[in-house]
A and B are shown apart, each in its own frame.
Chain A
Amino acid sequence: MMNKEIVSMIRDLIQRKEYGMRTGQSDDDDLLGMLLQSNEQNNLPENASGTIRDDLSIEEVIEECKQFYLAEKETTSSWLTWAMIVLALHPEWQEMAKEEVLQVCGQKEPNFEALTHLKIVSNFPLIGYPFPFCPPQELHRDV
């Protein structure tokens, strides 16, 4: 039920994006645009002749959208929502964090370098992958 609803929302999103891209009202340089660009190759004649497909079907684009828009966006936005709530509850920490940000960045938009200096905001380590990093994935069915 929920899956049906999510899929139909994403289909709607894709249709509006495709229409926007066809009519030039929308660029293809955002994430959904790039996924759809890959799908467009699907329609090229040389791909119809049994060559190995390296592009995405619409169903695959929908699955990727679930990953990016739900797994990625919803997690981070709930995290930030809780951060706002606890900082509202603890004004002393809000003040300390603000002082650190103003000290490191002033009024400038923070860049990567500045973000690594924000320890009160977060000192969670960024993980470094040993080279060559290749996370093992095992297929349990045909993909």
Chain B
Amino acid sequence: MILNEVLRLYPPVISLYQHTYKETRIGNIHLPAGVDLTLPMLLIHHDPELWGDDVEEFRPERFLGGVSRASKDQLALFPFGWSPRTCTGQNFAMLEAKMALAMILQNFEFNLSPSYVHAPHTVMILQPQHGAQIIIHQL
């Protein structure tokens, strides 16, 4: 639930781009060749109509019933993209992140330094603009 909610609020890749090389149909939408398409994950993940008025809050419990039930009406979490071209590293990244976070939690307690300034910022990837000053205590 926690890592899902982190991906919702701060997807490392904030949007995906596709280009139609030939006339293409997606559902009921007809697209001519040569169109640039964007899937703006960051905007979808922060849309109150899909997630509710608490959309800006960190509430991992919204994922209690699974990913597809966390948003209204339809699935709205696309941190790895979607379709046959979904991120090939998805499962690996999920296991890697769980493993790393589990080992951090086994050994450390941590809180934010007063010098931390919250400023999500994109340089290719969404990251804290002024760094992540975290005070770590060994358990």
Contact = CB atoms under 8 A, between A and B. Distances in A.
A135 B83 CA distance: 9
Contact of A94 (B105, B125, B127): B105
Given A81-B128, A115-B95, A115-B102, A88 B110 contact: yes
A135 B85 contact: yes
Interface of A: 70-72, 74-76, 78-91, 93-94, 97-98, 101-102, 105, 107, 109-110, 112, 114-115, 118-127, 135-136, 138, 140
B110 A119 contact: no
A89 B106 contact: no
A79 B3 contact: yes
Given A80-B100, A93-B60, A115-B99, A122 B134 contact: no
Contacts of A91: 111
Please classify how large the interface on chain B is, using the bins under 10, 10 to 19, 20 to 34, 35 or more. Answer: 35 or more
Interface in B88-112: 88-91, 93-106, 109-112
Nearest to A140: B21
Instruction: Name A's interface SS.
Output: helix
B106 A88 contact: no
B2 A120 contact: yes
Nearest to B10: A82
A118 B102 contact: yes
A132 B120 CA distance: 40
B66 interface: yes
Interface in B1-49: 1-7, 9-10, 12-13, 21
* Residue among B6, B63, B124 having the largest count of chain A Cβ atoms under 10 Å: B6
Contacts of B110: 84, 87-88, 94
Contacts of A122: 1-4, 94, 97-98
A40 B130 CA distance: 42
A75 B84 CA distance: 20
